[in-house]
Structure 1
Amino acid sequence: MNSVPAQHARILSGMRPTGRLHLGHYHGVLKNWVELQHEYECFFFVADWHALTTLYDDPSSIPDSVMEMVIDWLAVGVNQGEAKIFIQSQVPEHAELHLLLSMITPLGWLERVPTYKDQQEKLKEKDLATYGFLGYPLLQAADILIYKAGLVPVGEDQVSHVEFTREVARRFNHIYGRETGFEEMAEQAIKKMGKKSAKLYNRYRKAYQEQGDQSALDAARALLDSQQNITVNDRDRLFGYLEGSGRVILPEPQPLLTKASKMPGLDGQKMSKSYGNTIALRDDPEVVEKSLRTMPTDTNRVRRTDPGDPDRCPVWQFHLVYSSDGVKTWVQEGCRSAGIGCVECKQPIIDAVLQELKPIQERAKSFEAQPDLVRSILAEGCEAARDMAQSTMVEVRHAMSMNYR
């Protein structure tokens, strides 16, 4: 973590509670989380309030789905000692910040979020003409901003949500970061840095503001991160002073692009519960083997002696995820020449998937047998998350003149 700039050292990511997870979740999100937790300060949360945007009419499945999903997180290696694992609704400050941000967020910003109309089209059977559904991108922004997360792991299709969060933070800082005597306080903070650092800061600030030198801005931020003689508030002021704005109360996050998941479903489409083409992380080995053995293959291979085309076969997509170059060559040559049959082709996949799932399932059984331990992990994570959220809300309330104590 020491090699990461302080303003980008914290990561926030979450998932809606959908119950037991499948290989698509594992390869698309969870493997990345397991790696990130060793490099960053990570906050991983169960987005149960977000689930209510589409399940508001029947939320009864949410509690069990939360527990099942968290067990899978822990089973794949998300570690409560490395990351904070918590439930969104158990940190009510998320809702408070969402409310306060809603006071300054233009309605048009919400209506133009790309996924708003897309989801309405995909979920036509549900009445989504609710404020909760319209406002969920702002709740996502509150989720991120309340922990001052510098990085948010997203796929390319979700970058717009992070950009929306940046716009909200920028607007908030512009409106509320202009303290009385801001420039005088910033200049006093510069002096506290010492002559050499102060001179460097001013040089970087001038290069950025007069020439738009992005490298100067990055160098100045790194310089501020290394300072021991200034307070947190002074550092936030100087971040804002760099860019010619006010004090940075809510830092703007950056998207951390993740590779698109290459995990296909059993039918070659994206693996999804709605398509009924999944392999769950806790499916019995017999179920996994049967699912893979009965996968559809190249429809042109009617008989064992018919040559096939791996590029037209869902099984080949599994080989791209699991198989070595040697096995892939064997598949390509054997399939095209009818040298191997579809049953033979599937066996390396069956072996690889079962081998991958075995340690996950063993750990899952251990957590299933200890529900109180899982609840304790969540309670500990919620407490740590709430401490940080409360700290942010003290600043936000003060900036918005909502501090009456």
Structure 2
Amino acid sequence: MTQQTEHSHLILTGDRPTGQLHLGHYVGSLRQRVELQTQHPQYILIADLQGLTDNGSQPEKITRNVLEVMADYLAVGIDPQLSTICLQSALPALAELTMLYMNIVTVSRVERNPTVKNEIQQKGFSRSLPAGFLVYPISQAADITAFGADLVPVGDDQLPMIEQTNEIVHKMNSLLPQPVLRHCKALLSPVSRLPGIDGNAKMSKSLGNTLTLSASEEEIHKAVGAMYTDPGHLRVSDPGQIEGNVVFTYLDAFHPDSSKVAAMKAHYQQGGLGDRQCKNELETCLQELLAPVRQRRAELIVDKEMLMTLLKAGSEKAHEKTQQTLVAVKRGLGLPVMF
């Protein structure tokens, strides 16, 4: 095991608990978190408050999934002795920093954020847009800076969030007698965005095109069988296209033998390799990957008291860390620190 050192980066990452985590989360971040936790201090935030920004009228959707996400984390190998798992709503410093940052960010700047613009369009918001959703990039900036994170694993669609966070850091530090907040860098996964099983550009719970980490053998079988391939590949002997072929995208992301996948690609492009054979290879790969995760998760989710105890312990540690940042910012601004 690689030991953390005093020169380690500090990492913050996390998820909104809007449902169980899926393969997109796994390949985009979870797998990376398991590797990073032995190398750097790492905080993982279950962002329930941000989950409410577009689910405010159905809070039970968020609250019932907090421990579901916690179970997903542990099932894939995140170790609470190495990674501090915490709950956003248990950390009041994050909300207070968000409020302070909102005063130095204009509405027009938030509206220019391409990630926010795309999500507003995807969710069908117009003037019914919740104010909390509009400003959630500011909340994310508060999360990152409160922990002092300088390395943030994200998908490429989240890069505008990192840019805006650093703008806030620069502006806020300029208002303080001496810099308090750290700039951060994005850490992209080798596969930062996994398409949905329907061929949509992104796997998303809201689009219903996901495969959860707890998927059954039959669910995996059906999902792979329905995956988009090459519509022009009508006969096995026909040359096939691998660009945009979801099956090969998933093979690239999950198959442990890249040389075998490369050989399959060449064979498929030349003709003579059928879609069913490719799907069988992918299904075998996914069944082997998810079987132990599914079993471990089933054992974990029944012990909700244990999950809550671990989450509370991590949140207490994170509370101390984030309060230190809040106090430093308030003192720098000349605001009284009462507690």
Same fold (TM over 0.5): yes
> Superposed, which structure 2 residues align to 1:220-299 within 5 Å?
247-261=178-192, 263-269=194-200, 270-299=202-231
Matches within 5 A, 1:48-67: 48-67=48-67
Query: Could you say what secondary structure the match of 1:279 adopts?
Result: coil
Residue identity opposite 1:250 in structure 2: L
**1:308, distance to aligned residue in structure 2 (A):** 4.1
> Can you list the C-alpha shifts for 1:30-60, whole angstroms capped at 9, x where unaligned?
1111111111111110111111211112222
Distance in 2 between the 1:4 and 1:85 partners?
A: 21
SS in structure 1 at match of 2:153: strand
The 1:173–1:367 alpha-carbon spacing in structure 2 relative to 1, beyond 3 Å, is: same
Aligned mate of 2:251, from 290, 295, 319: 319
| Separation of aligned partners in 1, 2:328 and 2:310 | 28
Q: Deviation at 1:4?
A: 6.7
Query: What is the deviation of 1:331?
Result: 5.5
Alpha-carbon distance between aligned partners in 2 of 1:404 and 1:300, rounded to the nearest angstrom: 68
Aligned residue pair count: 332
Partners of 1:341 and 1:99 in 2: CA distance: 56
What is the aligned partner in structure 2 of residue 152 from structure 1? Answer: 152
Aligned residues of 2:156 and 2:193 also touching (Cα < 8 A): no
Are the structure 2 counterparts of residues 149 and 261 from structure 1 closer, same or farther at C-alpha, using a change threshold of 3 Å?
closer
Superposition deviation, residue 389 in structure 1: 1.4
User: C-alpha separation between the residues in 2 aligned to 1:292 and 1:344?
Assistant: 11
SS of residue matched to 1:39: coil
Q: Which residue of 2 aligns with 1:385?
A: 318
Partner of 2:331: 398
Q: Aligned-pair distance for 1:390?
A: 1.7
Secondary structure of the residue aligned to 1:98 is helix
Give, in whole Å, the separation in 2 of the partners of 1:164 and 1:113. 8
What residue is the counterpart of 1:219 in the other structure? none
How far is the alpha carbon of 1:132 from its aligned partner?
A: 1.5
Q: Structure 2 matches for 1:297-336, cutoff 5 A? A: 297-303=229-235, 306-311=237-242, 313-321=245-253, 322=255, 323-330=257-264, 332-333=266-267, 336=270
Quote the offset at 1:334 in angstroms.
Answer: 5.8
* Contact kept? 1:17, 1:48, Cα under 8 Å: yes
SS for the counterpart of 1:18 is coil
- The 1:307/1:108 distance shift into structure 2, 3 A limit, reads closer
1:110 alignment counterpart: 110
Extract unaligned runs of 5+ from structure 1.
178-246
Specify the code of the residue in structure 1 equivalent to 2:192. S
Alpha-carbon separation, structure 1, partners of 2:115 and 2:103 = 22
Asked if 2 retains the 8 angstrom alpha-carbon contact of 1:310 and 1:316, the reply is: no
Equivalent in the alignment of 1:375: 308
Deviations 1:70-119 (A, max 9, x none): 21111111110111101101111111111222233344433332323332
Match of 2:283 in 1: 350
Unaligned runs of 5+ in 2: none
Distance in 1 (alpha carbons) for counterparts of 2:261 and 2:142: 47
Q: What does 1:200-239 correspond to in 2, within 5 Å?
A: none
Secondary structure of 2:43's counterpart equals: strand
C-alpha RMSD of the superposition: 2.4
Kindly provide the CA deviation profile for residues 251-298 of structure 1, in whole angstroms up to 9, marking residues without a partner as x: 222333333436433233332334433221111112212322343443
Percent of matched pairs sharing the same residue: 33
Inter-CA distance 331–136: structure 2 relative to 1 (3 Å threshold)? closer
TM-score, normalisation: structure 2: 0.88
1:337 to 260, 271, 274: 271
The 3-state SS of whatever aligns with 1:133 is helix
* Letter of the structure 1 residue corresponding to residue 279 of structure 2: K
More helix by share: 1
The aligned residue for residue 360 of structure 1 is 293
* TM-score of the superposed pair, with normalisation by structure 1: 0.75
* Distance change (3 Å), C-alpha of 1:344 and 1:371: same
Deviation at 1:335, TM superposition (A): 6.8
Q: 1:54-203 maps to which residues of 2 (within 5 A)? A: 54-125=54-125, 128-177=128-177
Do 1:150 and 1:253's aligned partners in 2 also have CA atoms closer than 8 Å? yes
Using the TM superposition, give the Cα deviation of residue 360 of structure 1 relative to its aligned residue in structure 2, in angstroms: 1.0
Asked if the contact 2:195/2:203 (under 8 Å) is kept, the reply is: yes
Q: Is the 8 A contact 2:94 2:139 kept in 1?
A: yes
Paired residues of 2:55 and 2:61 also in contact (CA < 8 A): no
Q: 1:109 to 1:354 in 2, by over 3 A?
A: same
Q: How far apart, in 2, do the equivalents of 1:376 and 1:2 lie?
A: 25
Following superposition, the deviation at residue 3 of structure 1 comes to 5.7
Q: 1:290 to 1:160 in 2, by over 3 A?
A: closer
AA matched with 1:382? S
